[in-house]
Amino acid sequence: MAVNKDWPGGHNLNEKVMVALDVDSRTQALALAEALQGSGCWLKIGLELYALSGLELVETFKQMGFSLFLDLKLHDIPNTVERTLKVLCTSGVDMVNIHCAGGYTMMARAAEVCHEAGIKVIGVTVLTSMGPEDLRAIGVQASPQEQVVNLARLAKKAGLDGVVASAQEAAVLREQLGPEFILVTPGIRPPGSAKNDQVRVVTPREALQAGSSYLVVGRPVTRAADPRQALAALWE
């Protein structure tokens, strides 16, 4: 168990990690969960695993003691998102997300539904695979950081609990949106590991120091020969 005595209260740092189960089989997802059980980390169910198994693994993972982030990035008209969340909020997950680009009304209605169910809801700002050129290609002239901040401010105004953003934007978001606003940061890579398709990446400790609340880590853990050892190695 990765415990850092320099962290307030000597907390288990693994509680800050959401391991992305981006795998192509139910069997592999269960094997990873078994390897990580008791470590303190969250599990993230994304689109690939959801397409394979829907919500059937949620109860299993909860019985194993995991907190769960259902990462489906909903983006549709407000009524459709609201009705979908009413279903998802009965599944037992602890956190869900939507796209901030869906607008204020969509986010506000999502927040109302999720909070009635006692579930955290966060908004996706700018995907960590996107750089300035990618934003310009879709008509956004703001820099990635400017766009992240704009969308995060709107998300907070709409009542969302936090946002998904690169840890490179974490410091400015923490400064502008306060200590309670949740910052979930993908694009986390241990020192020396491959970036793969991520553009804006930082190390785990850099992300926490910048103000991240939770770190999403995928391939460095899930594709390791020993996932539990790889999880511990994030803090070395």
pLDDT above 70 covers a percentage of the chain that reads 91
Q: Is residue 121 part of a domain?
A: yes
Average pLDDT for 74-91: 98
Q: Is residue 2 part of a domain?
A: no
- Is 72 annotated as ligand-binding? yes
Cα 137 to Cα 193: distance, rounded to the nearest angstrom:
29
User: Bigger pLDDT: 93 or 236?
Assistant: 93
Residue 68: band (very low, low, confident or very high) from pLDDT cuts 50, 70, 90: very high
Instruction: List, by residue number, the catalytic residues.
Output: 71, 73, 76
- Is 97 annotated as ligand-binding? no
> Which segments within the chain are labelled E, that is strand?
17-20, 42-45, 68-74, 95-99, 120-124, 162-164, 182-185, 214-217
pLDDT for res 6: 45
97: CB partners within 8 A, 6+ apart: 69, 70, 71, 72, 73, 74, 121, 122, 123, 124, 164, 184
pLDDT for res 206: 86
- Is 138 annotated as ligand-binding? no
Q: For 118-162, how does the pLDDT look when each residue is reduced to its tens digit (9 = 90+)?
A: 999 999 999 888 999 999 999 999 999 999 999 999 999 999 999
Residue whose token pair is 């995060």? 152
Cα 135 to Cα 196: distance, rounded to the nearest angstrom:
20
What is the residue range of 149's domain?
8-233
- Is 22 annotated as ligand-binding? yes
Average pLDDT for 24-43: 96
Average predicted confidence (pLDDT) for the chain: 91
- Is 128 annotated as ligand-binding? yes
Q: Over 70: is that where the pLDDT of 38 sits?
A: yes
Length of the chain in terms of residues written = 236
pLDDT for res 7: 47
Torsion of CA 188, 193, 197, 199, to 10 degrees: 60
- Is 84 annotated as ligand-binding? no
Average pLDDT for 203-222: 92
Q: Which of 3-17, 56-70, 98-112, 160-174 has the lowest mean pLDDT?
A: 3-17
- Is 136 annotated as ligand-binding? no
pLDDT for res 194: 54
Cα R_g (the chain), whole angstroms: 17
pLDDT for res 5: 39
199, 189 Cβ separation under 8 angstroms:
no
Q: Is residue 95 part of a domain?
A: yes
Q: Over 90: is that where the pLDDT of 191 sits?
A: no
Q: Are strands 120-124 and 68-74 parallel, antiparallel or unpaired?
A: unpaired
Cα 166 to Cα 19: distance, rounded to the nearest angstrom:
16
- Is 11 annotated as ligand-binding? no
20: CB partners within 8 A, 6+ apart: 44, 46, 71, 186, 216, 217, 218, 222
Q: Is residue 44 part of a domain?
A: yes
The candidate with the shortest Cα–Cα distance to 228, out of 28, 31, 26, is 31
Q: Is residue 1 part of a domain?
A: no
pLDDT for res 11: 61
pTM: 0.90
Identify the helix (H) or strand (E) that includes residue 153. Answer: helix 144-158
CATH code for position 126: 3.20.20.70
Q: Over 60: is that where the pLDDT of 195 sits?
A: no
The candidate with the shortest Cα–Cα distance to 158, out of 114, 101, 119, 106, is 106
User: Bigger pLDDT: 188 or 81?
Assistant: 81
Average pLDDT for 186-202: 63
Q: Is residue 17 part of a domain?
A: yes
Query: Total structural domains in the chain?
Result: 1
- Is 45 annotated as ligand-binding? no
Average pLDDT for 32-36: 98
